Amino acid sequence: MNEWLTEFGMFVAQLLTLVVIGGLAVAVFLRVRGETGERTRLRLDELNGTRRYRRRRMQLAASQPGARKRLAKAFRRDDKEHDRRGRKGEGEASPTVWVLDFHGDIKASGTGQLAEEVSAVLAVAGQGDEVVIRLESAGGLVHGYGLAGAELDRLREAGLSTTVCVDKVAASGGYLMACAADQLRAAPFAVIGSIGVVAQLPNLHRLLKRHDIDVELLTAGRYKRTLTIFGENTEEGREKFLEDLETTHELFKRHVAERRPGLDIEAVATGEIWYGSDALTKGLVDGLGTSEAYLVERMQQAQVISLKLEQKHKLGDRLGMAVSRGVERSIERGLEMLDAGRWQKR
């Protein structure tokens, strides 16, 4: 018995050694691959095919059992005919609609990715192609969204037809980007506008003074600092700060007016927001409808391809994100159950 236990222990030790060695080898391989390989990958989704596949599944599910086999054969015949025409080059080549997505935060952090996606489209887009940007942003930093708007301007400058679709919000910097398109569409309750500039900061000078704390602010240049958080603000500083805000607002208005010349810019550049239907009346958008409805419509005449540049994550990063998502879902589920409990009868 003791001899058997000894042999079993040796077997387990050897197995563990092999597992550890294998794990180290995999870790080294993944590390080397992550350091030498490309950090991003281009994901392309042909939306026409996806929609056709889903429609066929729905047709099969809704048909009578006896008709499903005939319907499946008809689908296969259509696919063969489509492939035959493609090989022979029959028929006129349809234009391509390239679909980009931009979900902006306060810093417009996705601008770098957007710039690379725009470059990818410009490298292959042909005459008659269109670029659709599904945009969602409530705005943010002036320089961030100014750069994002400039990236979209590249499409117009290259002569490509551009359409921005707003399903939820394109306000402030988000609208600055949106008005770069030839056509701007919004869902009926999408938030549009907010052509204005805002800045705010706390001032702790009186609090610090009450506790006998002095803050020395040394500058070279009359307006190097206008308003500060810790120092004592002056009326001259406030006036200069407001002057800078007005200058930025004028640049914003000029940008929008140049790209939407039919818009009464003075009437809408008040910082107000409008919902989609009212925005259409004001001339802030050109049409109403969701991005999905527009893309389905375009699929009737064009090949629609969604393009996205994705970051490649290392194994450790993927595991960490998976754990994080699991924790987030658990918390959300718990909050939902607590909220639902408020409505249960006791």
Residue partners of 96: CB distance under 8 A and separation at least 6 = 125, 126, 129, 130, 302, 303, 304, 305
Place of tokens 């003074």: 209
Query: What angle, 0 to 180 degrees and rounded to 10, lies between the N-to-C axes of helices 65-88 and 47-62?
Result: 160
Side-chain half-sphere CA neighbours of 182 within 13 A: 13
Can 172 be counted among the known catalytic residues? yes
* C-beta separation of 224 from 276 below 8 A: no
List the beta strands (DSSP E) in the chain: 40-46, 96-103, 130-137, 161-171, 183-186, 191-193, 273-275, 287-288, 303-311
* C-beta separation of 78 from 335 below 8 A: no
Which string of b and e fits 208-226 if b means at least 16 CB within 10 Å?
A: eeeeeeeeeeeeeeeeeeb
Pairing of strands 130-137, 183-186: unpaired
Place of tokens 């551009």: 162
Set 137, 172, 194, 291: catalytic member: 172
CA angle 254, 256, 261 (to 5 degrees): 95
Q: Is 303 exposed, middle or buried (0-12, 13-18, 19+ CB in 10 A)?
A: middle
Can 224 be counted among the known catalytic residues? yes
Side-chain half-sphere CA neighbours of 298 within 13 A: 25
Side-chain half-sphere CA neighbours of 243 within 13 A: 9
* C-beta separation of 124 from 331 below 8 A: no
**Pair of tokens at residue 117:** 């996606």
Set 63, 69, 137, 224: catalytic member: 224
Distance from C-alpha of 230 to C-alpha of 204, rounded to nearest angstrom:
5
Catalytically active residues are 172, 224
